[in-house]
């Protein structure tokens, strides 16, 4: 007996789930932080160019492969590229596995801070507090709880689990974030906060390091280069306009990232917490921001709860998509039912994530290797596969819902030229950045 393959019940459900995958922990902290370091408004402009020039064409490529094949990444890439490309699907599945293993740990910190905010149990010294909750038994506990929640949703299937959760949670998330941005605008420090975030510095934008940061951030934030969007697109039934859908996903994600900075920087400046925000450590999100809320008393409990609820929702809907990549591969590859696939994959990921809950430097290293290098490499290979190996089929599939031959040619041309050149440069920088991350774990100079 063959079970019919899962599918989305509506196109809007698909879009919300894909935006849910993209909008995550990467948006609410890292984007604003990198922007403030990398040239402010000038960085935002560079980022937007990368999203449009690289992000949307590559999202479209993943959407085209997914919709055409209706298969999980390993099978899908084998179908379009031949046997010689199955390894790239395996890399995708490993990336989903690896990213979720530490992503769930950060999600666990978020859950912990949320719970403690609601209990009124955040101490004044949030630095010491974060040190306690981010590693060790408590971190493991909240990591496992987050994985259990993710597993519970993914066992519900595409419609009954992933889509339903996205339809409920994503509108809530948008409302919370916009509400927070409006609230932040009323704070006395908002002016200097915006200025610090967005003060344009053109010179910064032309540094190779800024390009590397912007591209790495774009890949992570758009859930690109590891088959998450491909997998979601494999559950599409209709023949919609894929570049438009890719554009919607990319712009929604970028808008949330941008608005996230309009929340965090006013808070940081209002409470004079600039000094606590050094180093690209995710910890700043869990130290500076809770400290600000703490000093507001009861009102801070309310706003803090809203902030960390939004962050948890963002993380959860991204974690779901990461797990789904691995689960889909198990279902298609091993022929297991969804429930068993989800429990086995989810448990394995939870266990592999435990070291990240014991050592934040290890977490940082896995992030640099899997969350950065793997994604850029995956994006580069996707561009080459679609641009050179499977361009005819891709063009044919894209034409369904996108009958514009000139733009389709421009798309293939971009995948063959601009994107590989930029990604090769970025990949080189990303590989070099592994060194410092590895030294942080293993010591040595």
Angle at the Cα of 29 from the Cα atoms of 362 and 363, rounded to 5 degrees? 5
- Shortest Å, Cβ 326 to ligand PHE: 11
- Shortest Å, Cβ 316 to ligand PHE: 11
Residue nearest to ligand PHE (CB): 24
Count other C-beta atoms under 10 Å from residue 48's C-beta.
17
Residue number, 66 or 189, with CB nearest to ligand PHE: 66
Burial 6-38 (b: 16+ CB within 10 A, else e): bbbeeeebbbbbbbbbbbbbbbbbbbbbbbbeb
- Shortest Å, Cβ 30 to ligand PHE: 8
Residue number, 73 or 300, with CB nearest to ligand PHE: 73
- Residues near 123 by beta carbon (within 8 Å), at least 6 away in sequence: 129, 294
Residue number, 61 or 273, with CB nearest to ligand PHE: 61
- Shortest Å, Cβ 442 to ligand PHE: 26
- Shortest Å, Cβ 395 to ligand PHE: 26
What tokens were used for 96? 């989903």
Alpha carbons 91 and 109: distance in angstroms, whole number: 28
Tell me if 79 sits within 8 A of 332, measured CB to CB.
no
Residue number, 95 or 184, with CB nearest to ligand PHE: 95
Residue number, 122 or 256, with CB nearest to ligand PHE: 256
Alpha carbons 152 and 324: distance in angstroms, whole number: 12
Residue number, 97 or 271, with CB nearest to ligand PHE: 97
- Shortest Å, Cβ 26 to ligand PHE: 3
Tell me if 97 sits within 8 A of 349, measured CB to CB.
yes
Helix/strand/coil for 297: coil
Place of tokens 């808008």: 255
Residue number, 88 or 322, with CB nearest to ligand PHE: 322
Residue number, 24 or 246, with CB nearest to ligand PHE: 24
- Shortest Å, Cβ 24 to ligand PHE: 2
Helix/strand/coil for 54: helix
Alpha carbons 272 and 277: distance in angstroms, whole number: 10
Residue number, 321 or 414, with CB nearest to ligand PHE: 321
Count other C-beta atoms under 10 Å from residue 178's C-beta.
14
Residue number, 99 or 433, with CB nearest to ligand PHE: 99
DSSP secondary structure string for all residues of 181-232: HHHHHTSTTHHHHHHHHH---HHHHTSHHHHHHHHHHHHHHTT-SSSHHHHH
By CB under 6 A, name the binding residues for ligand PHE.
21-22, 24-27, 99, 220-221, 223, 226, 228, 318, 321-322
What tokens were used for 124? 């004044």
Tell me if 289 sits within 8 A of 267, measured CB to CB.
yes
Residue number, 210 or 231, with CB nearest to ligand PHE: 231
- Shortest Å, Cβ 379 to ligand PHE: 11
- Shortest Å, Cβ 409 to ligand PHE: 29
Provide Rg for the chain, Cα atoms: 21
Alpha carbons 426 and 212: distance in angstroms, whole number: 5
Burial class (CB in 10 A: 0-12, 13-18, 19+), 4: exposed
Alpha carbons 44 and 257: distance in angstroms, whole number: 10
- Shortest Å, Cβ 101 to ligand PHE: 13
Burial class (CB in 10 A: 0-12, 13-18, 19+), 185: middle
- Shortest Å, Cβ 335 to ligand PHE: 25
């Amino acid at each position: 007996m063959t079970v019919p393959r899962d599918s989305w019940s509506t196109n809007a459900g698909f879009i919300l789930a894909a935006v849910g995958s993209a909008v995550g922990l990467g948006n609410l902290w890292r984007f604003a932080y990198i922007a403030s370091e990398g040239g402010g408004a000038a960085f935002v402009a560079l980022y937007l160019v990368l999203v449009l020039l690289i992000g949307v064409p590559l999202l479209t490529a993943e959407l085209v492969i997914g919709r055409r094949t209706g298969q999980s990444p390993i099978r899908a890439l084998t179908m379009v590229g031949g046997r010689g490309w199955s390894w790239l699907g395996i890399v995708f599945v490993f990336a989903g596995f690896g990213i979720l293993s530490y992503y769930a740990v950060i999600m666990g910190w978020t859950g912990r801070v949320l719970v403690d905010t609601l209990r009124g149990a955040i101490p004044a010294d949030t630095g010491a507090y974060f040190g306690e909750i981010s590693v060790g038994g408590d971190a493991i506990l909240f990591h496992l709880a987050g994985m259990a929640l993710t597993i519970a949703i993914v066992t519900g299937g595409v419609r009954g689990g992933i889509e339903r959760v996205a339809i409920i949670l994503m509108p809530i998330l948008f409302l919370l974030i916009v509400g927070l941005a409006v609230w932040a605008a009323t704070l006395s420090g908002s002016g200097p906060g915006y200025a610090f975030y967005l003060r344009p510095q053109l010179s910064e934008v032309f540094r190779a390091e800024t390009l590397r940061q912007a591209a790495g951030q774009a890949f992570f934030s758009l859930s690109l280069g590891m088959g998450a969007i491909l997998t979601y697109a494999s559950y599409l039934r209709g023949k919609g306009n894929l570049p438009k859908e890719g554009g919607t996903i990319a712009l929604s994600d970028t808008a949330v990232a941008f608005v996230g900075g309009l929340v965090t920087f006013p808070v940081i400046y209002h409470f004079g917490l600039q000094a606590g925000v050094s180093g690209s450590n995710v910890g700043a999100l869990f130290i500076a921001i809770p400290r600000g809320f703490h000093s507001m008393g009861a009102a801070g409990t309310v706003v803090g709860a809203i902030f960390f609820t939004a962050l948890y929702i963002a993380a959860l809907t991204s974690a779901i998509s990461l797990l789904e990549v691995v689960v889909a591969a198990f279902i298609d590859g091993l022929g297991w039912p969804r429930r068993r696939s989800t429990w086995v994959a989810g448990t394995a990921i939870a266990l592999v994530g435990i070291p990240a809950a014991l050592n934040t430097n290890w977490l940082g290293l896995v992030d640099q290797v899997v969350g950065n290098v793997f994604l850029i490499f995956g994006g580069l290979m996707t561009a080459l596969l679609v641009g050179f190996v499977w361009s005819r089929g891709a063009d044919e599939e894209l034409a369904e819902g996108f009958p514009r031959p000139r733009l389709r040619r421009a798309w293939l041309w971009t995948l063959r030229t601009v994107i590989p050149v930029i990604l090769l440069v970025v990949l080189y920088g990303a590989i070099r950045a592994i060194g410092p991350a590895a030294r942080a774990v293993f010591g040595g100079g």
